[in-house]
Amino acid sequence: MQGSPDIEAAAFVLDEVVGYLVPAALRAAAVTGVADHLRNGPRPVAELAAATGATEAGLHRVLRLLATRGIFTEAAPGVFALTPPAAALTTDAPHPVRAAVLMMTDPAMWRSAGEVAESTLDGKPAFDRIFGAPLFDHYARNPEAVAAFNDGMAQYSGLENDPVAAACTVPPDAHVVDLAGGQGGLLCAVLRRHPTATGTLFDLPHVLPGNVLAADPAVTGRWRLEPGDFRTEVPPADVYLIKRILHDWDDDTCVRLLRTCAAAARPGARILVIDPVLPEGDTPHQAKAVDLLMMTVMPGHERTAAQFERLLATAGLRLTRIIDIPAMPVSVLEAVISTTG
């Protein structure tokens, strides 16, 4: 019967199942670069189509859906304008997200995420089957794909690097290693806050040339690059930053990586794991969605505080505190080498 709780519940599910078209539309907006053409004010969709090379009808339909989510607004019939979230899609936004949207909706992620059901059944990352190799091996062989991933990842992390750096305890003169630090945005933010600290950006060899440290005069002379594979060795440090890495990997690989850090660490070292911490139960968290991406593209998974504590303990580390970052989906988990064995 219309309006019954049963119908409402069923209709809710049907609303949810078409939700995947929102990120698809976001990708269309990012690919066309339509937001850049609205920087000077509202414009008719016909003009936007001509400026972006899109079809008028297609672009209208994409913008109309996004406008229902507050991303763009239909200021007058057939005339669209930026909203604050749409402005973040412009190239020169203070906190741009276009490359991050392209990375998260790239076929590497999108096709894999479409196979959550298969990964749920066989327990394996769909990515390896679809693309014929594990994610980072695939990137090592595809310079264009890895450049898009690194740029997108840097933008994604760009929002959280400063608040995370503010939450990291770094003693004076400490040597900080940003382990698998990508383009080094977090290391750069940490070195800016701690003018007597030095740092090493450690990542796979093909990733390091894109680093942001070289462009920042505030950190000149205080950093070095070290290519390597964290599964075998890592440089010595007083502080290890391990951001958005453990969620990529299964527990055995994480334990191996953390033990490698503990073995290389200088006396009194701190290991700072920066990852989402999953709330228990039904509490919503962005990482409950990202977890399914981890399930389909990598062998990893997101973790609760209790899971992190157990993982660290298995690697001979003691979790000393968890610092949540306001308004960001990640926390800083501080650990030290356990003295109780």
Active site residues: 247
* Residue 205 Cβ vs ligand SAM, minimum distance, rounded to whole Å: 9
Q: Which is nearer to ligand SAM, 43 or 138 (CB)?
A: 138
Q: Look-up: residue for tokens 């030095």?
A: 198
Q: For 291-304, what is the HEC assignment?
A: HHHHHHHCCCCCEE
Position 153 contacts ligand SAM (CB under 6 A): yes
Position 155 contacts ligand SAM (CB under 6 A): no
**The binder of ligand SAM chosen from 60, 244, 301, 303 (CB under 6 A):** 244
Site track for ligand SAM across 6-45, x = CB under 6 A = ----------------------------------------
Stretch that binds ligand SAM, among 19-27, 56-64, 121-129, 224-232 (CB under 6 A): 224-232
Q: How is residue 143 written in tokens?
A: 């310079």
Q: Which is nearer to ligand SAM, 45 or 298 (CB)?
A: 298
Q: Strand pairing of 79-81 and 73-76? A: antiparallel
Q: How is residue 63 written in tokens?
A: 């913008």
Q: Look-up: residue for tokens 């939700």?
A: 19
Stretch that binds ligand SAM, among 123-131, 208-216, 243-251, 319-327 (CB under 6 A): 243-251
* Residue 130 Cβ vs ligand SAM, minimum distance, rounded to whole Å: 19
In angstroms, rounded to a whole number, what is the distance separating the alpha carbons of residues 299 and 224? 30
Q: How many binding residues for ligand SAM (CB under 6 A)?
A: 16
Residues 6 or more apart whose Cβ sits within 8 Å of residue 314: 251, 255
Site track for ligand SAM across 163-202, x = CB under 6 A = -----------------xxx--------------------
Element (H, E) at 226: strand 223-227
Q: Look-up: residue for tokens 């400490």?
A: 174
**The binder of ligand SAM chosen from 37, 243, 270, 301 (CB under 6 A):** 243
CA angle 89, 95, 97 (to 5 degrees): 40
Q: Which is nearer to ligand SAM, 95 or 231 (CB)?
A: 231
Q: Which is nearer to ligand SAM, 119 or 211 (CB)?
A: 211
Q: How far out from the chain centre does Cα 293 lie?
A: 11
**The binder of ligand SAM chosen from 157, 200, 296, 331 (CB under 6 A):** 157
Position 296 contacts ligand SAM (CB under 6 A): no
**The binder of ligand SAM chosen from 207, 246, 311, 312 (CB under 6 A):** 207
Stretch that binds ligand SAM, among 102-110, 114-122, 125-133, 242-250 (CB under 6 A): 242-250
* Residue 170 Cβ vs ligand SAM, minimum distance, rounded to whole Å: 17
Provide the H-helix boundaries in the chain.
5-17, 21-32, 45-52, 56-67, 84-87, 98-104, 107-113, 116-122, 126-131, 135-141, 143-167, 185-193, 251-264, 286-297, 305-314
In angstroms, rounded to a whole number, what is the distance separating the alpha carbons of residues 40 and 333? 43
The distance in angstroms from the start CA to the end CA of the chain is: 64
Site track for ligand SAM across 245-284, x = CB under 6 A = x--x------------------------------------
In angstroms, rounded to a whole number, what is the distance separating the alpha carbons of residues 42 and 37? 9
Q: Contact residues for ligand SAM (CB under 6 A)? A: 136, 153, 157, 180-182, 203-204, 207, 229-231, 243-245, 248
